[in-house]
């Protein structure tokens, strides 16, 4: 199995305080890994390290055998949801084309293959019919699909999603996860989420992160992993069912 990304003993500090402590993980092709953990546990920091946006204080990161900055086109990224300014004149088509800027260049302009890639990406997320719509006019779920299309135009081998279900109605989340399952047939996916139940249902493997990474390469989590991550006792982990039951946090 091809290793898409590899992190070895990653440490990151902010103002002398550790944000990541000795994190190691290998992501294989067609992995679908859900990363859960508390706020401030280092989840977004981990994604930034993988993107090459943040240099670790110690450790080694490789994307397909190269440093992240040298293989940036192999990584698609969708950040946490942000609302769009209704006064900013940009439609769905142009949002997705922005993902091709590294290929086109600011001065050279877009080429035929850039337009083709944008059309194919929008078709994959079932948004091509709305390509002329102003981005702010879409629902939260539709906007997330457009942002995924923007991440897909470089044909990445790894897709990173940071809380993709925030501001997405529960009624449309099932279709969104179906889309991710289809994409997972062609690329590895890492999804950061606070929704433990959704992660347990839809991903193949689960990791807990609270500065330290608790990861066994399976979809199973132990009560010890969860207690170490969330700093609270765990009463029950109902594997294979659409819920997790946790004890009340200490008051």
Model confidence over 90-130: pLDDT tens digits? 999 999 999 988 766 556 678 899 999 999 999 999 999 99
Residue 251: its pLDDT value, please?
A: 42
User: What are the tokens at 156?
Assistant: 């990445």
- Give the span between the Cα atoms of 223 and 236, in whole angstroms: 8
Given a cut of 90, whether residue 33 has pLDDT beyond it is: yes
Q: Sketch out the chain's domains with CATH numbers.
A: 3-230 (3.40.50.300)
pLDDT higher for 110 or 28?
A: 28
Q: Please name which of 146, 161, 144 lies closest in space to residue 51, comparing C-alpha atoms.
A: 161
The average pLDDT across 65-76 equals 92
pLDDT higher for 225 or 11?
A: 11
The average pLDDT across 18-46 equals 93
The average pLDDT across 194-219 equals 83
Residue 25: its pLDDT value, please?
A: 96
Q: How confident is the model at residue 236 (pLDDT cuts 50, 70, 90)?
A: very low
* Lowest-confidence pick of 29-33, 63-67, 118-122, 137-141: 137-141
Q: For 216-236, b where at least 16 C-beta lie within 10 A, e where not — what string?
A: eeebebeeebbbebbeeebee
Residue 38: its pLDDT value, please?
A: 86
> Max Cα separation, the chain?
60
Model confidence over 151-174: pLDDT tens digits? 999 899 999 999 888 767 777 778
């Amino acid at each position: 199995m091809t290793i898409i990304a590899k992190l070895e003993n990653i440490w990151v500090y902010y103002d002398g305080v550790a944000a990541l402590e000795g994190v190691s993980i290998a992501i294989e092709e067609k992995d679908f890994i859900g990363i859960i953990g508390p706020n401030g546990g280092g989840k977004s920091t981990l994604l930034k390290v993988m993107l090459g946006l943040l240099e670790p204080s110690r450790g080694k990161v490789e994307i397909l055998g190269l440093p992240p900055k040298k293989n940036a086109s192999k990584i698609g990224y969708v950040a946490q949801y942000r609302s769009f300014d209704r006064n900013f004149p940009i439609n769905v088509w142009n949002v997705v084309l922005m993902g091709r800027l590294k290929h086109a260049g600011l001065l050279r302009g877009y080429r035929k293959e850039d337009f083709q890639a944008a059309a194919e990406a929008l078709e994959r997320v079932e948004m091509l019919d709305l390509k002329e719509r102003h981005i702010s006019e879409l629902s939260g779920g539709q906007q997330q699909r457009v942002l995924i299309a923007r991440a897909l135009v470089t044909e990445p081998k790894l897709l990173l999603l940071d809380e993709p279900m925030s501001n997405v109605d529960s009624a449309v989340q099932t279709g969104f996860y179906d889309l991710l399952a289809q994409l997972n047939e062609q690329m590895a996916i890492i999804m950061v989420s606070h929704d433990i139940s959704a992660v347990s249902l839809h991903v193949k493997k689960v990791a807990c992160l609270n500065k330290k990474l608790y990861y066994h390469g399976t979809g199973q989590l132990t009560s010890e992993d969860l207690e170490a991550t969330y700093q609270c006792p765990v009463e029950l982990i109902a594997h294979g069912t659409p819920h997790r039951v946790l004890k009340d946090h200490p008051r």
